[in-house]
Amino acid sequence: MTLILEDIKKSFGEEENKTEVLKGISCEIKDGNICVLLGPSGSGKSTLLNIIGGIENSDSGKIKIGDEVVGEMKEKKLTQYRRKHLGYVFQSYNLIPNLTVKENIEVGAYLSDKPLDIDELLKTLGLWEHKDKIPNQLSGGQQQRTAIGRAIVKNPDILLCDEPTGALDYNTSKEILKLIEDVNKKFGNTVILVTHNDAIKNMADQVIKLKDGQIRHNDMNEKKIPAM
Ligand code: ADP
Ligand code: ADP
């Protein structure tokens, strides 16, 4: 489902300490695209991702997904929105330490009414031989693969990734970004990804650059758009 943002504004703090972190963000992110959010630290990337994710409220503006408006949803509907439409991957993997890889992914499946096949997913993610290990028996890259599995097993419309390679070394980061691209191709989920990693530029369909709470660039990567 295409995601439309209309004039999203957000401030933190009160009165004279108030800072406007998002100063009117408008853009469209097309169904099935990989959209990368770039910008210096403090430019509002995480805040925007959290607002799209229904974790934080904007002060004004609209987010539309299909024919639904995120900000107008009541708490129960918002919970459903998060569960049905969104998968979240963070810099820290946030796995449940005493559950195995497979069980961590099952947690995600449990939240969905249309989960993907778990065994097939474990193979796609290169985790089949590790499925019975617990997180502290895994490398960082393997833990992030598991976290991606937990997010994607729900078959969400949108996968939100906030610095998914922030804690990983260069080569593992490239592997994880490639995996996110493979997942996008295979399952067709829209991906919105915050990263500082330059390797991303070739796989993105759309690159949005934020600065001081505003969109400075919003480019479609024409090379990746298939001919009609
Ligand atoms: P990054 O630059 O990697 O996004 P940040 O340190 O900017 O990391 O933010 C990480 C999280 O902490 C964000 O989701 C944000 O909501 C929260 N955060 C950032 N700054 C503050 C702050 N001054 N007070 C409270 N929470 C904050
Ligand atoms: P980025 O992800 O681009 O680094 P963030 O969205 O994390 O940027 O933060 C943008 C600005 O908003 C920063 O100045 C940060 O300190 C501030 N901020 C983020 N979350 C909070 C919060 N919960 N309370 C107060 N300030 C915050």
Mutate to test the pocket of ligand 2, among 15, 46, 163 (most ligand atoms within 8 A of CB): 46
Ligand 2 centroid, distance to 46 Cα (angstroms)? 7
pLDDT average, residue stretch 113-130: 95
Residue 215 lies in a domain: yes
Q: Distance from the CA of 72 to the center of ligand 1, in angstroms?
A: 25
Q: What is the pLDDT of residue 223?
A: 59
Other beta carbons less than 10 A from residue 64's beta carbon: 17
Tokens of 64: 């539309």
Residue 23 lies in a domain: no
The answer to the question of residue 173 being in a domain is yes
Cα–Cα distance measured from residue 123 to residue 128, given in angstroms and rounded to the nearest whole number? 5
Indicate whether 20 belongs to any domain: no
Centre of ligand 2 from the C-alpha of residue 48, in Å:
10
Give the residues surrounding ligand 1 with Cβ less than 6 Å away: 41, 45-47, 50, 163
Least confident range of 7-11, 83-87, 182-186? 83-87
pLDDT number for residue 67: 82
In a domain, residue 78? The reply is: yes
Please, what sign has the CA dihedral across residues 123, 127, 129, 133? negative
Q: Which atom of ligand 1 is nearest to the CA of 45?
A: 4
pLDDT at position 122 over 90: yes
- Name the residue of 10, 11, 12 whose CB sits within 8 Å of the most ligand 2 atoms, as the mutation to test its pocket: 12
pLDDT(72) > 80 = no
Q: Is residue 226 part of a domain?
A: no
Nearest CA to ligand 2 atom 5: 44
| Rounded-to-integer distance, Cα 214 and Cα 23, Å | 6
For 7-53, how does the pLDDT look when each residue is reduced to its tens digit (9 = 90+)? 999 999 988 889 999 999 999 999 999 999 999 999 999 999 999 98
Choose the weakest-confidence range: 42-46, 52-56, 114-118, 129-133: 52-56
ipTM: 0.67
Q: In the sheet that 3-12 helps form, which strands lie side by side, from edge to edge?
A: 19-29, 3-12, 60-65, 68-69
Choice between 219 and 135, residue whose per-residue pLDDT is larger = 135
CATH of the domain at 158: 3.40.50.300
Residue 62 lies in a domain: no
**Full strand arrangement of the beta sheet holding 86-89:** 86-89, 158-162, 190-194, 34-38, 206-211, 214-220
Asked whether the whole model's pTM tops 0.90, one would answer no
Asked if residue 212 has pLDDT above 70, the reply is yes
> Are 213 and 43 spatial neighbours (Cβ–Cβ below 8 Å)?
yes
Does the residue 64 lie in any domain?
no
Q: pLDDT band at 222, cuts 50/70/90?
A: low
What does the chain come to in residues? 228
The two structure tokens encoding residue 137: 């028996």
Q: Is the pLDDT of residue 100 over 60?
A: yes
> Domains in the chain: how many in total?
1
Task: Supply the range of the domain harboring residue 116.
Answer: 33-57+74-220
Looking at the DSSP bridge assignments, the partners of residue 38 are 209
